[in-house]
Amino acid sequence: MQTLLQVERLSVAFSSDAGRHCAVDDISFSIAPGESFALVGESGSGKSVTSLAILRLLDPRAQVAGNVLFDRENWLQLSERDMTARCGRDAAMIFQEPMTALNPVMSIGKQIAEAIRIHQRELSRAAVHRRAIEALDSVSIPDPAARFDDCPHQFSGGQRQRIMIAMALVNRPRLLIADEPTTALDVTVQAQILDLLRELKQRSNAAMLFISHDLSVVAQIAERVAVMRRGKIVEMATCAQIFADPQHPYTRSLLAAVPTMRSRRDAPLTVAMDGAVADGELIEISSGHWTRARR
Ligand SMILES: Nc1ncnc2c1ncn2[C@@H]1O[C@H](COP(=O)(O)OP(=O)(O)O)[C@@H](O)[C@H]1O
Ligand SMILES: [Mg+2]
């Protein structure tokens, strides 16, 4: 299998007066070109920290160990300057709350144009303008030329998420990281954004690292999934395997929590697991299906 992103034995720890806290604990996974891979787990399980570590966007005080190989180049060893050149071009990220990523006082057209200019300096002003409008059109913002000079607050939450997706894809990254991109949206808009992501993914053939606490959302978008608990991957398999034959008790608790999550999707998720688990090593129990505990 070809590999685009290979995360090897990644660990992230934070130190404070209270001691050292390992937010991500020795995780490994890989994503093939064009593949859609998900991380799922309750709040605080280490999903966002993993994605931020991949793009080197963590607080410099975070202690990061392991390797992040993108096309065999180890991103954890790049200079800051080289990493800046890759972030947004090779891999781009969208977040749960577009308002944290968008500048509230700059027009959306200008923001997209800037994102283009950072990585495609050779383009003329007119070409950048044209690409920015095409980008807005590709995410179905109605009448993009007329909306070019509008600021983020003049758009609905769903439209802002579309704009952020347009901005992330504008330099045609080979990997899109989407961290809970639909969690803050109501159910109808969530379905529209998932449709859009699926469509754009197909059109661009970018790979995707999709992050969610909700297995029912993951099932709609990902081919494979890793279940995270307390910084560790406890089970990893295709979505079909996870739904048909979940092995780890925590995975089964997540599956059981799906209907409740649907009713209160924006609430922080914590999952009670039936009984204690003696987690062992992650072992492959059938082709492509890994787990730390067997049913
Ligand atoms: N900058 C930080 N400093 C200290 N602890 C952090 C920091 N960022 C995240 N954490 C901790 O790391 C753990 C994992 O967080 P996170 O990856 O955000 O979880 P989630 O799975 O909900 O995305 C949590 O315990 C969180 O409190
Ligand atoms: Mg998170």
Nearest CA to ligand 1 atom 25: 44
Position 274 scores a pLDDT of: 57
- Pocket probe mutation, ligand 1, options 48, 54, 228, max atoms within 8 Å of Cβ: 48
Residue 224's CB: how many other CB atoms inside 10 A?
A: 22
Please give the domain boundaries of the chain with CATH numbers for all domains. 5-90+174-291 (3.40.50.300), 99-172 (no CATH)
Cβ-based neighbour number of residue 63 at 10 Å: 13
| 70: phi then psi, degrees, rounded to nearest 5 | -115, 115
Question: What is the residue with the minimal CA distance to atom 27 of ligand 1?
Answer: 44
For ion ligand 2, residues whose CB falls within 5 Å: 48
Print pLDDT tens along the chain (295 aa): 799 999 999 999 999 999 999 999 999 999 999 999 999 999 999 999 999 999 999 999 999 999 999 999 999 999 999 999 999 999 999 988 888 889 999 999 999 999 999 999 999 999 999 999 999 999 999 999 999 999 999 999 999 999 999 999 999 999 999 999 998 888 899 999 999 999 999 899 999 999 999 999 999 999 999 999 999 999 999 999 999 999 999 999 999 887 555 455 555 566 766 556 778 899 999 999 999 988 8
Size of the chain, expressed as the number of residues it contains: 295
Q: Give whole-number Cα distances, 147 to 70, 150, 162, in Å.
A: 36, 5, 13
Q: What is the pTM of this model?
A: 0.93
- From ligand 1's centre to the CA of 279, what distance in Å? 22
CA dihedral 235, 241, 243, 249 (to 10 degrees): -30
Q: Judging by DSSP bridges, how do beta strands 36-40 and 19-31 pair with one another? A: unpaired
Q: What is the CA(11)–ligand 1 centre distance, in A?
A: 12
Q: Using a 6 Å CB cutoff, which residues line ligand 1?
A: 14, 23, 41, 43-49, 59
Closest CA to 30 of 13, 54, 49, 11: 54
